[in-house]
Structure 1
Amino acid sequence: MLKQRVEELTKLLNQYNTEYYVFDNPSVSDREYDRLLQELIEIEQKNPELKTPTSPTVRVGGAVLEGFDKVLHTNPMLSLGNAFNEGDLREFDSRIRKVTPNINYVCELKIDGLAVTLHYENGQFVRGATRGDGTTGEDISENLKTIRAIPLTIPYSDLLEVRGEAYMSKETLEKLNKRRAQNGEELFANPRNAAAGSLRQLDSKVTSKRELSMFCYAVPSAKQLGCKTHAESLDKIKEMGFNVNPNYEVCQSIDEVLAYIEKWSTMRTELPYEIDGIVIKVNQLDDQEILGNTVKSPRWAIAYKFPAEEVETVLKDIIFTVGRTGMVTPNAVLEPVRVAGTRVSRATLHNEDYVKERDIRVNDRVIIRKAGEIIPEVVKPLIEERNGDEVPFEMIHECPRCGSVLVREENEADYYCLNIDCPARIVESLCHFVSRNAMNIDGLGIKVVQQLYEQQLIKNVADIYKLERNQLLPLERMGEKKVSNLLAAIENSKQNSLERLLFGLGIRHVGSKTAKVLATHFEEIDKLIGATFEDFKGIPEIGEVISKSVIHYFADESNKMLIEELKTLGLNTLYTGNKLVANTQESAFYGKSVVLTGTLTTLSRKEASMKLEELGARVSGSVSAKTDFLVAGEKSGSKLKKAQELGITVIDEETMLKMIGE
């Protein structure tokens, strides 16, 4: 009898929840909803065996975690390229139509929140995660369960992934900040920060009280739902109970896209939530596949960013900071002012030439904005408001931290401190090493790194792996739990694949993507250390500048000694993303461009891509004249047709497996 009542209450509460949060059409009062929820809570408290992981009662929170587990995204969560004006958008449209001329676009409001992904199995919500670095995010399932706009059960039994933006409304932020002010707590600068902070609470009860919501905007495998267009996929998931922003439109031309942008540029202030731009996507799913992706972003979508808000303030002083490469940057100290929702008291001045060309002076009234809505910068001084108290800019010629003479190379705009023992350079290098895209050591933020350096516990990256519990516990804000988590994160980072270590070392011109290319080619760090200039020739995307930089770095004996020390401390120095196969160059796929299409029966697309890359292939998402092989699985579509038209070699999965020796 009780079980039947639990099922009945669950069904009713899920129905009322969807009516209220998705369709904005409640059929019962809040009081009735709360009465039914309380009844279910009481039944479950007395009969815990009747509570399910997706019960409506999980909305109130209760799970307390020690930390967030890492989640590897099955499909990378790519970031979008940006457009800032009409010219950028017309160029995007022209580029798209050269490849896929018969398309239309879907325009959506770009919600200012936190990107998350939701996973369902057998109709049940099983996991949710943050975007993270696009490849790896954090499991925040318990916190996402508290968001009432997210369905815990759906009428679909197969695996399903849905992505969207978790956000906080303007009204909710105002109420939250009012409570925080009364409690003497620091206020949230904007809804985005509030949403991100709320979803990273270890106590889901706290998240529940923050009243977050979510708009869903993407289904990575929309075709499995029988959809042919992105607009159809949005309609489909809305039918399932997901909250989809109602303000999207299908536009037939770039002129209609521009009209949509103009409309919402004016109307965005009337919305109950913040938006920071418009997302434009090719509507046809087949054409999205043809256009494919770059390493960082899809070619079939772009984000138009609203013009940066500009405000006036006073430039009170100019100070200088030193980066990990030794680059010295002038920064403005400002009379605090709010810009794009955050309080700004510092802004970059870029370099000496930037300041002198604009004649920016201390005590000037200046215009500032956030470049790309992120980094505050000084745009220009208001020369007409000068009163004679302004002080012209003079570039320093000695490092502000170590006193070394600064050097500005010919044809470069920046000054550098060349002292590798400069304290500022060391701290910045340490922060880079532990950062998310490098060794990804949770708990080692800039304040902790600064503290450890000032206490002389770490002087170089190897010292991080020598830290001991008794050294950390006496430090400020370092309790037992925090120390245990930090030491565990440090130990876990030893197993990272070679590309993370290479990026973390801070070799000039070696970004995360270049580090991956080098790691997959050389397989182990010793081979890279011993490489000559000839060894770099022919490696995709590795040119003369990068080659010389890597050779120069490893020619330094101190750098080679550091690598040996890291090995002794147990750090992995091999590429472990995919184990490389012997005799790779004998493979028919070595150096070839390969595209996968259709459904594979023996391997997943990801597994097939990994095996091909092990053999030296470049796996691409789109067919072009440069494609060497198309691997066609079941239900192959437009990619197969295009490959046949271009005369590209088409093979089936069985042939591919034979060619790779399986």
Structure 2
Amino acid sequence: MSEARPTTPAASTADLTDVPAAVRVRWTELVRDIERARDAYYDAVDAQSPWSDAEYDALYRELESLEDTYPALRLPSSPTRSVGGRPATDFATAPHHERMYSLQDVFSLEEVEQWAQRMTAETGLPDAELPMTAEVKIDGLAVALTYEHGVLTRAATRGDGVVGEDVTGNVRTIASVPLVLAGDSHPALLEVRGEVYFPVAAFHEFNERRRTENLQREAEGRPRLQVFANPRNAAAGSLRQKNPAVTAARPLAMIAHGIGAITPAPGERLPSAQHAWYELLAAWGLPVSPYNEVVRGRAQREAYIGRYADHRHDLLHEIDGIVFKLDSRPLQDELGYTSRVPRWATAYKYPPEEVHTRLLDISVQVGRTGRVTPFGIMEPVVVAGSRVSRATLHNATEVARKAVKIGDMVVLRKAGDVIPEIVGPVLERRDGSERDFVMPQRCPSCGTALAPAKEGDVDLRCPNTRSCPAQLTERIAHIGSRGALDVEGLGDEAASALTQPDAGRVEALAALAAGHALETEHGRLRLPAGELDALHPSERVGAAEALLAEAGLPAQRPVLTGEAGLFELTADDLREVFVYRPVMRRGLPTGDWRLLRFFWSKQTYTKDGEVRRPTTPGKNAVAMLTQLESAKHQPLWRVLVALSVRHVGPTAARALAARFGSMDALRAASLEELAQVDGVGPTIAAAWKDWLEADWHEQILARWAAAGVRMADESDAGEAAPQTLAGLTVVVTGTLQHFTRDGAKEAIVARGGKASGSVSKRTSYVVVGDNAGSKETKARELGLKLLDEAGFEALLAGGPAAVDGGS
């Protein structure tokens, strides 16, 4: 299934075409200087304003004068339209004009060659005559910048590719990002894709300053400042600051590496080659990579890869590979996309960095679907810029294949420079003290015997799906995740508190048995030293248990024993949820522990035991309950994702929701009907039918529905739409009056069609709305069938027969 694209927002700026370029440049300089001065005055902790009050006033008056002369510059984002410091960013959602895709990763020169051979086969051009852009793959944070008539109106993170987070306020502080494009004749709408990064040299200087300041802070007993592990983390953390002033104080930069949506100005001719687009972007003042080249043939591609393999640590920014793209934009459009990646591009990933470290132990964790995964616990080590202390080992078969033993010195690398991976043991470092790992036969969370899901599976799973605490915790956290119902406050810690409130209790008891204290609302608990000395070591934990029971602190019952009751939670249900936490001092454990209310505030008492200050719901509790109420209105596909059905991710969930429209229709659908949905297939269809067979799953649906969770989308709820578009590919371009971009695509998919984002010879129909742009032009060049909105509605209702006479 093709992913739905959000509706393009209406233009939010006045027409700036009559404003001279020099005036726009000066306006940009004034806005940036005034905002920096405001940040330093109102918000910044460690910045100093470079302007006096008189100089600031002069800048502000000049800005007012410019906007009086050219009213089109008086934008909602101008400092003249706001008071005082800029508001902190709240990260509103930002639907992308066109979906942001990932890149297909390959890890060998041979795989690059295989991709290139597919390109020659698809295009009919010899490899030596097929130009490609070669680009270093920046290790930063992907962003999409929207320019309307040359003015930056929005900046968004990638998010899930369809919807990102609005970080406009923060991006405006990045000096290399122009607020107004240079020159003239800008598109009415231009979406620039790029990467925000932390320059390597500036990163080291920034961290060094923080280390120096932390010495002073530590001496004064103040909290330490964060020292970043690598430039990418620094870039991501800096760009997503709530306060733009913090972002402004950090030397971020941006490089443009692609184009999304374009609405050309009337009569405008845009480049047909990727490298020509980079030249145009540079002419408009946007930063492009100095390392880009156009290459032809295998020898030039591999020479480019080899050159930057030798110099990957000498560049302005960190890289994790090389990207090749067909240089021809028309060929890019013709080849199009899979559900995840463009077919016309690939990313070669350099072999990851490797280090040696000691494997201290191998433990296991239980995931939300019951899969039990071994993982290595290692002496902390820095690899590829990150500090790593654990790495997955996948399953017992993989542990045996790698022949690693507990106590081994092991080779650790980051697969794709992202995921920590234990490669194998350093055999010459063994001394005989190492021991084999034995996969547990019972679930470490609930004690149930482990078994494969089906014969032949290498993974072991805990079959106690309903009540295994570890699985339930993971499922509750998954419900709150951005890919599911997106519930603020329902993360890993909250999920654990709801389902495993006594997490840490064993460690707290061990601390008491060792003579340490447990801090509670009523005071500190500690076993008297004389009593401890008189006890046999095997009796001390029991004495600690008795101490807690005497203090009225028995083991807690979880608030949730299943996800069915999640939407029935009230603030009172959360009042007595306590969690155990180690007491830290200057980042180090003291040995003592603390018992805290997780969702409510601390309750205080007088010396006589009377309540002095009662407990009240905390901000996190209020936010979570409010967000749970809002989550009831999420679309059907998100509800499907939240159910943790095996194999049913966002893509399959969107396809199923678009095709059937309601939970009732999905439950009634046959295996064959489900499997025929584009993007679903027999495996996912069988997984859904299997999920429905469990009585407790039906209870989840029933109780969620009773609590008000939306179980049907608004259009065609409960009814399967007629398959009028079966076998057809439809492209929607421009703005329609009665359909959002998402709605149009879902209507196509629900009727059996494929909603494509690119025009090619294989396109059946192109629906043309207002400001359609280049897709309409290409459709006319290819002689494709064009429909207006009325024709689109007729096509949905009656299929091709209803529009045979339209054009």
The secondary structure found in structure 1 opposite 2:312 is helix
Superposed, 1:43-62 pairs within 5 Å as 43=58, 62=85
Distance 1:232 1:443, change over 3 A: farther
Match of 1:178 among 200, 204, 208: 208
Does the 8 Å contact 1:525/1:574 carry over to 2? yes
Shift of 1:118: 1.1
Distance of 1:596 and 1:556 partners within structure 2: 40
Distance of 2:704 and 2:457 partners within structure 1: 34
Q: Which residue of 1 aligns with 2:332?
A: 288
Shift of 1:613: 3.1
Q: Which residue of 1 aligns with 2:311?
A: 267
Does the 8 Å contact 1:122/1:159 carry over to 2? yes
Distance of 1:39 and 1:426 partners within structure 2: 61
Superposed, 1:166-315 pairs within 5 Å as 166-181=196-211, 182=214, 183=217, 184-221=224-261, 224=264, 226-315=270-359
Higher mean C-alpha deviation, range 596-605 or range 560-569: 596-605
Match of 2:412 among 368, 392, 412: 368
Q: Which residue of 2 aligns with 1:93?
A: 116
Q: State the Cα deviation string for residues 377-433 of structure 1 (Å, max 9, x = none).
A: 111111122111110222111111111111134311111111121111111111222
Distance 1:312 1:450, change over 3 A: same
Distance of 2:561 and 2:373 partners within structure 1: 23
Distance of 1:12 and 1:652 partners within structure 2: 43
Corresponding position: 1:562 with 2:662:
no
Corresponding position: 1:341 with 2:370:
no
Distance of 1:277 and 1:113 partners within structure 2: 12
Shift of 1:615: 3.2
Distance of 1:557 and 1:309 partners within structure 2: 49
Distance of 2:98 and 2:733 partners within structure 1: 16
> Number of residues paired by the alignment?
632
Q: Which residue of 2 aligns with 1:439?
A: 485
Distance of 1:243 and 1:216 partners within structure 2: 6
Give the aligned residue type for 2:173: T
The secondary structure found in structure 1 opposite 2:659 is helix
Superposed, 1:23-62 pairs within 5 Å as 41-43=56-58, 62=85
The secondary structure found in structure 1 opposite 2:173 is coil
Give the aligned residue type for 2:156: A
Corresponding position: 1:141 with 2:168:
yes
Match of 1:160 among 185, 190, 197: 190
Match of 1:489 among 627, 636, 642: 627
Shift of 1:342: 0.4
Distance 1:610 1:540, change over 3 A: closer
Give the aligned residue type for 2:118: R
Q: State the Cα deviation string for residues 492-528 of structure 1 (Å, max 9, x = none).
A: 2222111111112111122221112211122101121
Percent identical among aligned pairs is 33
Give the aligned residue type for 1:11: R
Does the 8 Å contact 1:598/1:637 carry over to 2? no
The secondary structure found in structure 1 opposite 2:568 is coil
Does the 8 Å contact 1:580/1:614 carry over to 2? no
Q: Which runs of 5+ in 2 are unaligned?
A: 1-21, 34-48, 66-73, 218-223, 502-557, 576-595, 602-617, 798-802
Q: State the Cα deviation string for residues 580-634 of structure 1 (Å, max 9, x = none).
A: 79784263x2x12214388788788766545433433112346778765566888
Q: Which residue of 1 aligns with 2:568?
A: 466
Give the aligned residue type for 2:754: R
Q: Which residue of 1 aligns with 2:461?
A: 416
Does the 8 Å contact 1:593/1:618 carry over to 2? yes
Does the 8 Å contact 1:147/1:213 carry over to 2? yes
Does the 8 Å contact 1:37/1:57 carry over to 2? no
Shift of 1:37: 9.3
Distance 1:579 1:98, change over 3 A: farther
Shift of 1:491: 2.5
Distance of 1:268 and 1:210 partners within structure 2: 23
Shift of 1:452: 3.0
Shift of 1:262: 1.0
Tell me the TM-score normalised to structure 2 length: 0.72
Distance 1:93 1:624, change over 3 A: same
Distance of 1:250 and 1:56 partners within structure 2: 42
Shift of 1:275: 1.0
Distance 1:490 1:407, change over 3 A: same
Give the aligned residue type for 1:104: P
Distance of 1:117 and 1:487 partners within structure 2: 32
Higher mean C-alpha deviation, range 429-438 or range 450-459: 450-459
Distance of 1:622 and 1:212 partners within structure 2: 33
Distance of 2:721 and 2:416 partners within structure 1: 43
Q: State the Cα deviation string for residues 509-564 of structure 1 (Å, max 9, x = none).
A: 22221112211122101121233334335333433332222112112121111111
The structure number with the bigger radius of gyration is: 2
Q: Which residue of 2 aligns with 1:3?
A: none
Shift of 1:136: 1.1
Q: State the Cα deviation string for residues 238-260 of structure 1 (Å, max 9, x = none).
A: 11111111110111223322211
Higher mean C-alpha deviation, range 293-302 or range 606-615: 606-615
Does the 8 Å contact 2:734/2:773 carry over to 1? yes
Give the aligned residue type for 1:448: A
Give the aligned residue type for 1:585: P
Distance 1:471 1:191, change over 3 A: farther
Distance 1:601 1:319, change over 3 A: closer
Does the 8 Å contact 1:308/1:373 carry over to 2? yes
Does the 8 Å contact 1:228/1:284 carry over to 2? yes
The secondary structure found in structure 2 opposite 1:338 is strand
Shift of 1:336: 0.9
Q: Which residue of 2 aligns with 1:23?
A: none
The secondary structure found in structure 1 opposite 2:687 is helix
Higher mean C-alpha deviation, range 561-570 or range 183-192: 183-192
Does the 8 Å contact 2:89/2:167 carry over to 1? no
Give the aligned residue type for 1:163: R
Does the 8 Å contact 2:358/2:378 carry over to 1? yes
Distance of 1:15 and 1:47 partners within structure 2: 8
The secondary structure found in structure 1 opposite 2:712 is coil
Distance of 1:258 and 1:223 partners within structure 2: 36
Match of 2:654 among 510, 516, 520: 516
The secondary structure found in structure 2 opposite 1:318 is strand
Shift of 1:655: 4.8
Q: State the Cα deviation string for residues 440-490 of structure 1 (Å, max 9, x = none).
A: 223322123223333333333344333444666884487855444433332
Q: Which residue of 1 aligns with 2:14?
A: none
Q: Which residue of 2 aligns with 1:14?
A: 29
Corresponding position: 1:113 with 2:140:
yes
Q: CA RMSD, aligned part only?
A: 3.4
Distance 1:400 1:584, change over 3 A: closer
Distance of 1:274 and 1:13 partners within structure 2: 29
